Amino acid sequence: MDVAVVGAGIAGLGLAVLLARRGRESFVVLERGDDVGGTWRDNRYPGVACDVPSHLYSYSFAPRADWSRVFAPGAEVQEYLRATARAAGVRPWFGAEVTDARWDEDAGCWHVTSRRGPVRARVLVLAGGRLSDPRLPDVEGLDAFGGPVFHSARWDPSVDLAGKRVGVVGTGASAVQLVPELARTAGRVVVFQRSAPYVVPRQDRAYSDAERAAFRADPQLVRRLREEQFAQMERGHAARRLVRPDVEALRERALAHLAAQVPDARLRALLTPDHEVGCKRVLLSDEFYPALGEPHVDLEPAALQRLEPGAAVSAAGRRFGLDVLVLATGFRSTRPLWAQRVRGRRSTLAEHWRDGMTAHASTVVHGFPNMFVLDGPNASLGHNSAVHVIESQFGYVLGALDHLAGRAGALEVSERAEREYTREIDERARSTVWLRGGCTSWYVDARSGRLTLLWPGTATEFRERNGVFDPAPFAA
Ligand code: NAP
């Protein structure tokens, strides 16, 4: 093969669609699951939806006129991804978890071992994702609870929650979507909140039949809407740079939402964040606060510390009798499991990243020739659509494939280029809310205190900086 793509989530799948359309390279997509979609395939909890407007959270090269709502439900995003794969004729190898990938210096190619068999490829594209492996909380007695315990991304639809006492651990983007749904069916809900998030109005609505007909009739309308949504989200970056009055306006917007939706002063105090707005992801919900105000819903303002048979105990020592426990505790984002399985010239990727993820152009890594990482180091956004950044990376990877075509040898970025790019990231990150906002978040690697997940600038700047392949920083 010319190219082996690992992962058929929104990043790997999108690249595969472009490779299929241009038809120049032979390629294979290795996917450990049984379907495309990545995080959208895995997250099926009640209420799952996209919190970036759907016209923006879709491929620019595969727009969709028919989104049902401003913020589509997760199942609709998943169906869109499946349909896009089908239309392009992309058929990944399913059940093909990659257990090992090694660079063969003599042959100038990657040997990839997967559960569906081996592949030899000149180029390896890692698109294993950052929201793919659940992070379970480090608490005593997970096995002792006795009742069903599952992560939000491993939802068990066979568990009937009607009338049950359900605990939810966490108050991130998943929990705020999940809790209002649980409050509708469960007999009692206890939410364990370690830190209070900022929440702003979501203002979701269905698109009317007339709007959708207009989108179908005129693709320019979809393109313009997308551009407006993109521009509006880009403006949100100023607050992340702590520019005034933007950061105050965003904070006030969230606190006004809290004040309007939570009349009880005690509950409001518990829900008031202790860090600057934007340090963690700013959440969108019109239903989370009202759900917490319901008589059968309790907010426990402390971490989950321990489980006992049929009960959960918080760090404040309070004990709650529960039937079911949902862990909305996020993902192993800063230390991806797939990095342990990739061996370059001298080390594994996990060893190279022992102090945190780094890459030149957020995409290529010294010591790992002909390898590209999508949605990896400093390639996520805290204020705009991840799809825009991922598409910038597609431009970079396709440019590199053009460069390699007809040439012998391999592309290995120099150590110096990676180091200088990392220094540039650190410099830019220093003044952002992600490092100065007084919170802990998965955007920052605890080992080094560096911002390793997020690109510190705007999406536009990412494209300008990294959207086009430049051969200069590569050793001959
Ligand atoms: P997350 O943002 O990492 O949130 C995990 C939550 O679990 C945090 O509130 C964390 O508290 C809490 N937690 C961990 N251990 C705990 C313990 N022992 N006791 C109490 N709380 C504990 O995970 P997520 O909500 O799954 O979201 C992850 C990312 O997925 C999001 O940032 C977003 O990028 C994406 N996402 C997107 C959408 C969408 O609509 N597009 C929806 C869901 C998720 P601390 O804050 O104190 O660490």
pLDDT given for residue 306 in this prediction: 96
What does the pLDDT read at residue 406? 86
Here the tokens at position 289 are 């606060």
Ligand 1 centroid from CA 201, angstroms: 18
- Retrieve residue 341's tokens: 């399985």
Q: Is 82 in the pocket of ligand 1 (CB under 6 A)?
A: no
Question: What does residue 413 show for φ and ψ, rounded to 5 degrees?
Answer: -70, 145
Q: Which atom of ligand 1 is nearest to the CA of 171?
A: 9
Q: Please choose, from the candidates 178, 97, 179, the residue with its C-alpha nearest in 3D space to the C-alpha of residue 133.
A: 97
CA 104-109-114 angle, to 5 degrees, is: 85
Ligand 1, from 131, 283, 383: best to mutate by most atoms within 8 Å of Cβ? 131
**Distance between alpha carbon 455 and the CA centroid of its chain, in Å?**
13
Cβ–ligand 1 distance for 169 under 6 Å, the answer yes
Measured distance CA(224)–CA(11) in Å, rounded = 24
What is the 171 CA–ligand 1 centroid distance (Å)? 6
Structure tokens at 156: 């068990």
10 in contact with ligand 1, CB cutoff 6 A: no
> CA of 80: how far to CAs of 130, 131, 286, in Å?
21, 19, 25
The list of the chain residues with pLDDT below 70 reads 476
- Please state, in angstroms and as integers, the Cα–Cα distance from residue 267 to each residue in 293, 300, 357, following that order: 8, 10, 39
Q: Report whether the peptide linkage leading into residue 245 is cis, meaning its omega lies within 30 degrees of zero.
A: yes
**For position 26, what pLDDT does the model report?**
98
Q: How far is the CA of 190 from the centre of ligand 1 (A)?
A: 16
What pTM, to 2 d.p., does this model score? 0.97
